[in-house]
Structure 1
């Protein structure tokens, strides 16, 4: 590809700044030879926090472009506690990001990158809008239930990792279609934005291997069993690029004891050191 920069899209509030810092630290460290640019879509992060976050990203050599979302853009969107405005951001990214940007990789902040992202970034989308992984490797029963529930034919994709063709998205993704779908089917949606994504765009999504690009960190035994022992810890460390800490139990919590807890804490410490360095410099009297 002509653009050697990996453009990352993230959407979060102030509470998720520390996990994002850990995710970005791991991505930069484990994707050598590539530059990154982070695009942050948000609605209410204070400027003081954004300034510190920008300084943190600079220590990693990564430009940060925060974009505040104008609430008027979502005047026709059904918004409630269950359907916050923020849930629309990644689906509408083609219309919210600059037209000069042609491709972006969306990552949830509860992710750890342990091998290069370059092969995913350079994946040919074959005319699809997105590339995403389905967790069928470990939970095919739930996948089948979701297909019946949403009346779709394709696998149920997890939206924590999405490679997007922004140019095609600008022509094929229509905000009013999304808003209308939520308006008409809101009571049926269990995971609102993920359900909307799968219903409207699942058929326009390229399947990628979750064991490589969206490994559900809760289910190491499941991956091991379904692979007949092939996906052991050494295999994961050598091949898996993205560990995704799905679910309510998060690895930055002191009570977390999952199999990858120590690995996460390692990158968390590295990120914390960079963040502390920024705070120390900013506190020096001018």
Structure 2
């Protein structure tokens, strides 16, 4: 893995370290996430990290451009698949893509560079200041997390037999590097996935909830507000719902705000921040790209009364399935 040396400038400052785990397809949305964070937290110094198994030269250059645009530090960490070799003897390992383990490498990689690091999914937009989060006290907790939706929490707590009756969404995880390492969270989570992953609905998230039970601090949902665009589009509601004063809007559903074909106001919010990033020249997705998106788009068109167009896209869905 490509790591900066322990004497890099990032060790000398008090910047807020934020990490993403992406592939080339998600770099554009990561760029919008980063731009939204910077725009809404004036006065906060950031260092951004990207973890990936591979990254195109174009995306590497764009990511580096952030340094000149916003006077901050960036680091690319290319993961060597050999890091998972110690687990190869466990037969279940072959069932899983190594990508589900990527987030678990963040604390060990950044140990010595920072004390705390915020992991974010790349389908999040920041609409408020992060200064309050930066100063939160971890105590002995390995991470600070946000509760998942009530129904998801109820179901997963029952399935995983979580005595705390608490379940978090792992798209936002503020990690305390030393506490995480001392409590061997990465090792325990990988073993939990390999031993029980076939019973988990969300292998890495479920395993993290099991391993971290009693070792985490929960904070308000404004730090990871789950916004399901399908909820709106199934009712042909194209404007953003009133969600109050939140900091992170997490578009965790199957439809994303960079899908221009969804015709939802969230697209304008995404474009606003993408325009402030090195990926500003890239177009939104003009049409559904796979059969699942084609089926959803057909349903949305039917809700809008565009029966003929709906039928056409349903036929495309049947052909692509």
> Could you state the TM-score of these two structures normalised by the residue count of structure 1?
0.82
SS at match of 2:261: coil
Q: 1:247 aligns with which of 253, 256, 266?
A: 253
Distance 1:104 1:23 in 2: 16
Alignment CA distance shift 1:220-1:27 (3 Å) = farther
Corresponding position: 1:120 with 2:124: no
Distance 2:106 2:181 in 1: 9
Which residue does the alignment assign to 2:291?
none
Corresponding position: 1:157 with 2:168: yes
Which residue does the alignment assign to 1:170?
181
- Tell me, yes or no, if the aligned pair for 2:160 and 2:210 is still in contact at 8 Å: yes
Aligned-residue offset at 1:62 = 2.5
Distance 2:266 2:120 in 1: 19
**Higher mean C-alpha displacement, 182-191 vs 9-18:** 182-191
Distance 2:119 2:253 in 1: 18
Alignment CA distance shift 1:35-1:182 (3 Å) = same
Distance 1:146 1:64 in 2: 36
Which residue does the alignment assign to 1:35?
45
Q: 1:85 aligns with which of 98, 101, 110?
A: 98
Which residue does the alignment assign to 1:268?
274
**Higher mean C-alpha displacement, 16-25 vs 150-159:** 150-159
**Higher mean C-alpha displacement, 194-203 vs 260-269:** 260-269
Alignment CA distance shift 1:215-1:259 (3 Å) = farther
Alignment CA distance shift 1:219-1:70 (3 Å) = closer
SS at match of 1:73: helix
Distance 2:35 2:169 in 1: 23
Alignment CA distance shift 1:175-1:33 (3 Å) = closer
- Tell me, yes or no, if the aligned pair for 1:4 and 1:34 is still in contact at 8 Å: no
Which residue does the alignment assign to 1:204?
215
- Tell me, yes or no, if the aligned pair for 2:230 and 2:255 is still in contact at 8 Å: no
Distance 1:148 1:273 in 2: 42
Which residue does the alignment assign to 1:283?
none
Which residue does the alignment assign to 1:75?
85
SS at match of 1:203: coil
Structure 2, unpaired ranges of 5+: 1-11, 233-240, 283-321
Which residue does the alignment assign to 2:144?
131
Distance 1:65 1:272 in 2: 16
More strand by share: 1
Larger Rg: 2
Alignment CA distance shift 1:146-1:272 (3 Å) = same
Distance 1:60 1:22 in 2: 14
Aligned-residue offset at 1:61 = 2.2
SS at match of 2:48: strand
Which residue does the alignment assign to 2:19?
9
Alignment CA distance shift 1:85-1:207 (3 Å) = same
Distance 1:173 1:92 in 2: 12
Q: Which has the higher contact order (CA 8 A, sep 6+)?
A: 1
Which residue does the alignment assign to 1:282?
none
SS at match of 2:213: helix
Distance 1:87 1:252 in 2: 23
Alignment CA distance shift 1:258-1:195 (3 Å) = farther
**Higher mean C-alpha displacement, 7-16 vs 67-76:** 67-76
Alignment CA distance shift 1:36-1:255 (3 Å) = same
Which residue does the alignment assign to 2:153?
143
Aligned-residue offset at 1:47 = 3.5
C-alpha offsets along residues 160-206 of structure 1, whole Å, 9 cap, x if unaligned? 11111001111112544333222211210111111111010132111
What's the RMSD between the two structures over aligned residues? 2.5
> Could you state the TM-score of these two structures normalised by the residue count of structure 2?
0.73
Distance 2:220 2:186 in 1: 29
Distance 1:25 1:158 in 2: 23
